[in-house]
Amino acid sequence: MNTTTDTLPQRLLLGSGPSPVPEQVLAALALPTLGHLDPAFGEVMDEVGDLLRAAFVTENRVAFPISGTGSAGMEAMVANLVEPGERVVCGVHGLFGERMADELARHGAEVVRVEAEWGRAIDPQALIDAVQADAAPAALFVVHGETSTGVAQPLDGLADAIHDRGGLLLIDCVTSLTGHPLRLDEAGVDAAFSGSQKCLNAPPGLAPLTVGPRALEKLAARRTRVPSWYFDLNLILAYVDGEGGRTYHHTAPTNMIVALREALRIAVQDEWLATRWERHRRAHEALRDAFEVLGMPRLAPADEALHPLLAVRVPDGIDEAAVRRTLLLEHDIEISGGLGPLAGKIWRIGVMGVGAQREPQEALITAVAAELGQGADDALAALQAGYAA
Ligand SMILES: *Cc1c(COP(=O)(O)O)cnc(C)c1O
């Protein structure tokens, strides 16, 4: 029997996700598989809950990973907290806001879109105005970190506005969790989802979700059944909550959850959350300075930049897709291209977890400069100055 596994290339993952997975997390993934009802695994689930509360900065009782990628977190949130016929104000300033609007409409919600051009944040006042123009919106949704454009959405005033109308504040923090300042309880967020493969540096496949007391009340008061069996929180919580023992719902992806625990320990225990946020900010700005020297300025204005994702404009005359392909196949470095209206116009570079450090960024800058036929020295000096600052 052939016991060797296939070999795969080792890439430096500096795109929009997945991000680099540390050896420690890969080693946790490879630990012996446990059953989902094993008490030893129950302890892992409990610890993951505690670590997620620390990452989200919340006291919500409900904090656990949905089995599925980030989009499964989005779908679970909508399936549980929005009912057919309800109106939801949805911020759209990139691909993921667009995806949420689609998700909401598929669940029968009436979507009230508040838009901004791709590459800019939405004016919070425009969101507040839309909420206040409605007698009883069920929810206000925004993408906190728009990965398609590298923009961070301010949440100022949103919670008060939607709570005054009796609705919920829902957010997507797939890319921002542990990489950009975000305190859920302080911001008044009622439910949020994330993904394992962005700043958390775990492999793709889990969507951390947290649901606060207001949202749980809404769930309990539903007029209609949750339309998804797989994502029905009423059923899942009988397993996750653990009070009175765990009841089987679906087989938890145990190895992935053990890996996520390790990734969360690194993020919120080995490194203090505020230190981690500051490290991402510094790494983002150093890399922005270096790309500016290469003639590729940042898309987002300074006060709207999302630290874990740097989007830079690609100058006319460069076949950006060809350069990205060469970076991947000849330098083993992955970065991402633009989406939607920004396709062919920008590059999206992940500054996520262990990717938010000088060494991987030096490798990227060196490779990009070589492919563009430029010297790398000035850009590398700018990068280093950013770290020295
Ligand atoms: C990556 C991402 C998602 C979707 O996550 P998948 O893991 O690809 O399903 C949703 N929202 C944002 C902001 C993301 O960056």
Q: Are 341 and 351 in contact (CB under 8 A)?
A: no
Same domain, 242 and 308: no
Same domain, 214 and 244: yes
Expressed in angstroms and rounded, the spacing between residue 141 Cα and the centre of ligand 1 is 15
Expressed in angstroms and rounded, the spacing between residue 118 Cα and the centre of ligand 1 is 16
CA distance 29 to 204: 12
As given in the structure block, the two tokens for residue 389 are 């600052």
Q: What is the dihedral of CA 240, 245, 249, 255, to 10 degrees?
A: 60
- Is residue 255 in some structural domain? yes
- Is residue 211 in some structural domain? yes
CA distance 307 to 301: 12
- What secondary structure letter does DSSP report for 267? I
- For a pocket test of ligand 1, which of 172, 178, 306 has the largest count of ligand atoms closer than 8 A to its C-beta? 172
The H or E element containing residue 211 is: strand 206-211
Q: Which residue has the tokens 């959405």?
A: 153
What contacts 24+ positions apart, CB below 8 Å, involve 229-234?
Answer: 231/66, 231/72, 231/75, 231/76, 231/79, 231/80, 232/79, 232/80, 233/62, 233/76, 233/80
Same domain, 158 and 51: yes
Same domain, 250 and 285: no
- Beta strand 168-172 with 191-193 is parallel
Same domain, 58 and 35: yes
Residue closest via CA to ligand 1's atom 14 equals 174
Can you give the residue range of the structural domain that contains 343? Answer: 12-16+273-388
Q: Are 176 and 182 in contact (CB under 8 A)?
A: yes
Same domain, 253 and 277: no
Same domain, 317 and 182: no
pTM, entire model: 0.97
Query: Whose CA is closest to 88, among 124, 145, 143, 131?
Result: 131
C-alpha separations of 118 from 124, 282, 343, 356 in Å: 16, 24, 11, 24
Task: State which of 253, 269, 285 marks the end of a domain.
Answer: 269
Task: State which of 225, 241, 269 marks the end of a domain.
Answer: 269
- Is residue 6 in some structural domain? no
Domain at 326, CATH number: 3.90.1150.10
Same domain, 245 and 298: no
- Is residue 7 in some structural domain? no
Same domain, 143 and 210: yes
- Is residue 2 in some structural domain? no
- For a pocket test of ligand 1, which of 175, 176, 306 has the largest count of ligand atoms closer than 8 A to its C-beta? 175
Q: Which residue has the tokens 């769930």?
A: 219
Expressed in angstroms and rounded, the spacing between residue 48 Cα and the centre of ligand 1 is 20
Same domain, 285 and 344: yes
Overall domain count for the chain? 2
Same domain, 57 and 184: yes
Task: State which of 230, 247, 269 marks the end of a domain.
Answer: 269
| Residue-level pLDDT at 242 | 64
CA distance 74 to 64: 14
Same domain, 240 and 325: no
- Is residue 242 in some structural domain? yes
Name residues of the chain where pLDDT drops below 50.
none
Pocket of ligand 1 (CB under 6 A): 17, 69-71, 96, 143, 145, 147, 172, 174-175, 195, 198, 204
| Residue-level pLDDT at 241 | 82
